[in-house]
Amino acid sequence: MEANCGYCGVPAKLKCAGCQQVYYCNPDHQKKHWKAKHKHECVKPYELTKSDEIGRHFVATKTIEKDTILFSENPLVIGPKWNLADYEQRSTVVPCVGCFTDCPLGQFYCEFCRWPACKPDCPGLGNSNLHGLECGVLRFGRPPKPGDDPEMFFDYYRYDALLVLKCLALQIRNADLFDQLINLESHYNARKNSRYYADTDERVVSYLFRNFLDPLQKLERKEGKVVLKMCDRKTLHMIGGILEVNAMIIPLSNGREICGLYPMGCLLEHNCMPNSFYTFDCSKGMKLTFKAGRDIQKGEHITTTYTHSLWGTQLRREHLKTNKYFACKCSRCSDPTEFGTFLSALRCMGIENEPCGGFQLPINPLAEDSDWKCNRCPVQITHDQVNFLMSKIGEEVDDVMSRKSSVKEFENLIHKLQNFLHPNHFHLQTLKHSLIQMYGRFPGHRLSELSDEILRTKLKMCHEMLTIIEVLDPESFRLSLYASVILLEQHAALIELHKRQNSLTASNVKDALSEALQSLVRAKNILRNEMGTLQGKKLMEQIESALENVKAQSGTK
C-alpha cells in the first residue's frame, strides 16, 4: 500500500509501526514528524487487557497488516539457559559470563568473581546489563583452585542457576525493571507440588544460598545494610517459576542458546495457530521484535506459540499443561483431525485385526482422558491403549533419532510404523524429515547413487510434508527452517531426476529446472522469517549457491 508522506505530502511507502496509519517517504521525515506532532497522536494498534482464564494478553484494536512490526524491546535480563541437560552441565566448554561465547573451563576468568570468561578483558564483564548484574554477588563465593578435583568445578560453576541470580540481582541495579520481572506469571502455587519445584529447590535455590547468598546476608547483618531486599527461598522459587513460564530461548549465531525475559514479549498469549512471530537481533543487545505473521483483524487476540507446531495435539497440550500450567483450547486443539492433517491419527485395526482402512481419532481432543473412535467403523480404543502405543512408538523414534542410525534403520522404522500410524502422523513426519536429508548425503546414498524409485520417494515425502506445512503454517513464519530444508531437498531430487531423463525434450528440461528454481526461491523467501540461527545461516548459503547453479543451467542468470 502507498499513501502520502505525513511530513511533506509526496507519495510514501514507509509506515509508522505504532499506529499503522501514517506513511513517510523516508526515515528522516518520520523522525521529524514524530518530534513535531506524531508522538502525541500515535496510538498502537492493540491494547493490553486481562481475563481470568488467560491473564494479561493483547487484543488488536484495528486491523493489523501482515509483516507489521508490533513492537521491539530490550530484554529485562538475559543469561545462560536455566534448564540444562546433564551433559551440558558437565561440559568443560562453557559460555563466557561476559558475552556467552564458548570458552574452556579453567582458562580465563573475571578478575573479580573468578567465573569463566573468553578473555580477561571481555567487554561484557564490565557491562552493567550483562555480567555487571551478578558479579558483585558471585564475589562472595569460594571458587575451586587449579588442580582441585574436576567435580568441584562442575559443582561450583552451575550455569543453570546463574539466570535466577541475575534476575534476583536486577533489584540492585534497577528497581523498576525488577518490579516488572517479579510481576510476571510464576504459577507459584500450582508449581509448588510439581517435580520442577523439588528440582529447583536443590539445583538452584540451595546452591545459590550455600555458595553466595548466605555469605552475602551474613555481611549484610554485620554491616546493618541490606543490598538485596527481596532475597528468600520463596522469591527464588518465584523467579524459577517466572523463568519456566516466560523465558524465551535466544539462538546465538555461534549455535549456543541462551534465555531472556522481555517485558511485553512475555505477555503474549499462546495459540497453536499463532498470528505473530518474533526474531532477536543479537548485534543489538538481544533486542526482540514481534511482527504480525498474517493480517490480524480488529478484536483478535495477538498470539504466539509456546510449543512445537509439528507435535500432535496430545503432546502439545501435555507440554503446555506441565510447563505452562494451562489447558489449550485453541481451534487446532479442538479439531480431532487438526484441520484435516491427521497429524495424530492412528490406523484403525478394525474388528479382529481386520483393518477397515479408517483412522482412530480422539472423541473429545480437549479431554485429557478421552477415548478414541474410528472415522470409518464402530471400533473404539481407550485412552490407556493410545497412551501405551504412543509411548512405545515415541521411545523407538527417540532411539533412532538420537544415535547415528543408518538409512536402513530409518527406512525400516518408517515401514513398521506405517502399519500403526496415519502416513501424516507427526512421528512419521519426524523420521521422514531426517530421511529426505540422508537420501543424497549419506555414503552409499549420494544423489547419483540413488535409484529412480528412491528419488521419487524422496520427492513424494517432500511434497507430503509441504502439504501439511501449508495447512499448519500457511504464511510460513513458524516452521521456516523445517520448510526450507524440505524445499532445498526437493530441488536436489528434481535436478537429479531430470539429469537422468535423457529422453526429455528441451521444454521438459526447462519445466524441471523452473520447478527446482521455484522451490529455491520459496525457500529463500521463507528463510527471511528465521531468527538468524547458525543453522539458518548455513542453510541460506546452501540455498543461494544452489540458486546460482540452477540459474546458470537454465540460462536465467
Ligand X SMILES: C[S@@+](CC[C@H](N)C(=O)[O-])C[C@H]1O[C@@H](n2cnc3c(N)ncnc32)[C@H](O)[C@@H]1O
Q: Which residues of the shown chain bind ligand X in the complex (CB under 6 A)?
A: 53-57, 184-185, 187, 245-246, 266-267, 269-270, 324-326, 328
In this complex, which beta carbon is closest to ligand X, that of residue 311 or of residue 326? 326
Please count the other Cβ atoms lying within 10 Å of the Cβ belonging to residue 223.
9
How far apart, in whole angstroms, are the C-alpha atoms of residue 348 and residue 361?
Answer: 9
In this complex, which beta carbon is closest to ligand X, that of residue 271 or of residue 484? 271
Burial of 425 (0-12, 13-18, 19+ CB in 10 A): buried
CB of 44 to ligand X, least distance (A): 18
CB of 170 to ligand X, least distance (A): 17
Burial of 356 (0-12, 13-18, 19+ CB in 10 A): middle
Q: Residue type at 436?
A: I
CB of 330 to ligand X, least distance (A): 6
In this complex, which beta carbon is closest to ligand X, that of residue 53 or of residue 453? 53
CB of 47 to ligand X, least distance (A): 14
CB of 58 to ligand X, least distance (A): 10
CB of 184 to ligand X, least distance (A): 6
Residue nearest to ligand X (CB): 55
How far apart, in whole angstroms, are the C-alpha atoms of residue 341 and residue 515?
Answer: 25
How far apart, in whole angstroms, are the C-alpha atoms of residue 320 and residue 326?
Answer: 6
**Do residues 77 and 258 touch, judged by C-beta distance below 8 A?**
no
In this complex, which beta carbon is closest to ligand X, that of residue 142 or of residue 321? 321
CB of 334 to ligand X, least distance (A): 12
How far apart, in whole angstroms, are the C-alpha atoms of residue 485 and residue 471?
Answer: 18
In this complex, which beta carbon is closest to ligand X, that of residue 187 or of residue 524? 187
CB of 295 to ligand X, least distance (A): 21
Q: How many helices (H) and strands (E) does the chain have?
A: 21, 22
In this complex, which beta carbon is closest to ligand X, that of residue 254 or of residue 331? 331
The string over 234-267, giving b where at least 16 C-beta atoms fall within 10 Å of a residue's C-beta and e elsewhere, is ebbbbbbbbbbbbbbebbbeeebebbbbbbbbbb
Q: Residues, the chain, total?
A: 557
In this complex, which beta carbon is closest to ligand X, that of residue 59 or of residue 509? 59
Question: Of 361, 365, 338, which is closest to residue 348 (Cα–Cα)?
Answer: 361
In this complex, which beta carbon is closest to ligand X, that of residue 182 or of residue 401? 182
In this complex, which beta carbon is closest to ligand X, that of residue 184 or of residue 436? 184
CB of 308 to ligand X, least distance (A): 16
**Do residues 60 and 286 touch, judged by C-beta distance below 8 A?**
no
CB of 370 to ligand X, least distance (A): 19
CB of 364 to ligand X, least distance (A): 18
Q: Which three cell numbers stand for residue 106?
A: 579453567
The conformation of residue 12, written as its DSSP 8-state character, comes to E
Burial of 64 (0-12, 13-18, 19+ CB in 10 A): buried
In this complex, which beta carbon is closest to ligand X, that of residue 56 or of residue 383? 56
Cα separations (Å) of 544 from 434, 489, 499?
Answer: 22, 14, 20
Non-local CB neighbours of 116 within 8 Å, separated by 6+ positions: 94, 96, 97, 103, 104, 105, 106, 107, 108, 109, 110, 157
**Do residues 159 and 100 touch, judged by C-beta distance below 8 A?**
no
CB of 305 to ligand X, least distance (A): 10
Q: Which three cell numbers stand for residue 133?
A: 548484574
**Do residues 348 and 358 touch, judged by C-beta distance below 8 A?**
yes
**Do residues 464 and 510 touch, judged by C-beta distance below 8 A?**
no
In this complex, which beta carbon is closest to ligand X, that of residue 246 or of residue 484? 246
